[in-house]
Amino acid sequence: MENQRPDNGGADDSVTPPMGVPQPPAEQPSWAAYGTPMRGVQDGRDAKLHTRFWEAEQLAAARGSLHWGFLAFFIGFGGFYLLSLLISLVMAGRLSAFDPADPPKLGPLLLLAFVPNLLLGLGPLVLSWTRGRGPVSDFGIKPTLRDLKVGVLCGLAALVPAWLIAFILIRTSRDGGPQGPIGGLPVFSEGQTVWLALFAFFIAVGAPITEELLVRGALWGALEHFRVPRYAILILTTMMFAFIHQEPDRMPLLFAAGLLLGTARMITGRIGASIVAHAVYNLLPAIVLFFAAG
């Protein structure tokens, strides 16, 4: 049975094509049955992606769905807010009338203030263990060598806009501008060096882990699951990062720094990089706190 050709308006179907014109083979492979176009098989890159973000896209596809990310976020942030409120109510009654000649030891009280912060990361961890593949696979919490490089660069870069905005706010504010986490701290009494060291350590290491698990781990993964564009995710998570600190006078500073911390996550696809960047950003305030309050 002869192959039927479409009507070409009366032209001679037997005309031989011009010499030198390549002709398609009789049977061409087709990828039409595949859900997505074939990617490069040599290095795993997608030619349609910007080279800066192909790594993050590959990791996001490999880790699977973080559809439970919103639930993890609300559990972590809700627990943080409720426990912070409870501690404030309890401690307000205890500290409302203390003897100035015999003030309470501040070390344990300052560490108590960081207990709610632990819940920020606990929600994502629990959901990752129970519904996901674990924090290493779901979030990339274990830093790689590349995470260290990208994280250090982004953390140092975050200091530039933060210092610039802080300088502007100090110059234009009547009350001296934003105080930050170390502003207004009283001098520690003798014998509380260990408490102060633990407090500074949590600022430099503990807070970056818990906050990154919540914001750029659970929340970022949930938004990624619903195909929100990466730059929109960067803006939304940065806004939430600034909001959870509950310091209105520092919001511009935290937002500017948060953009750089989120960039580390966006480039690598792992919160290991944003944890490193966050730790680098928090290191200087932690050192200043230790020596200024001691």
Quote the number of domains for the chain.
1
Q: Is 8 a member of any domain?
A: no
Q: Is 103 a member of any domain?
A: yes
Q: Is 151 a member of any domain?
A: yes
User: Model confidence at 33, in pLDDT bands (50, 70, 90)?
Assistant: very low
- Highest mean pLDDT among 30-34, 204-208, 249-253 belongs to 204-208
Give residue 294's pLDDT: 55
- Note the helical H segments in 205-270: 207-212, 220-225, 230-244, 251-268
Q: Is 286 a member of any domain?
A: yes
Q: Is 188 a member of any domain?
A: yes
Torsion sign, CA atoms 227, 228, 233, 239: negative
DSSP string for 1-23? -PPP----TT--TTPPPPTT---
pLDDT (tens digit per residue) in 188-242:
445 567 777 888 888 999 999 999 999 999 999 999 888 888 899 999 999 999 9
Give the structural domain span for 159: 65-293
Q: Is 104 a member of any domain?
A: yes
Is residue 275 pLDDT above 90, yes or no?
yes
* Model pTM score: 0.74
Q: Is 14 a member of any domain?
A: no
Q: Is 223 a member of any domain?
A: yes
Under a CB-based contact definition with an 8 Å cutoff, are residues 204 and 217 in contact? Answer: no
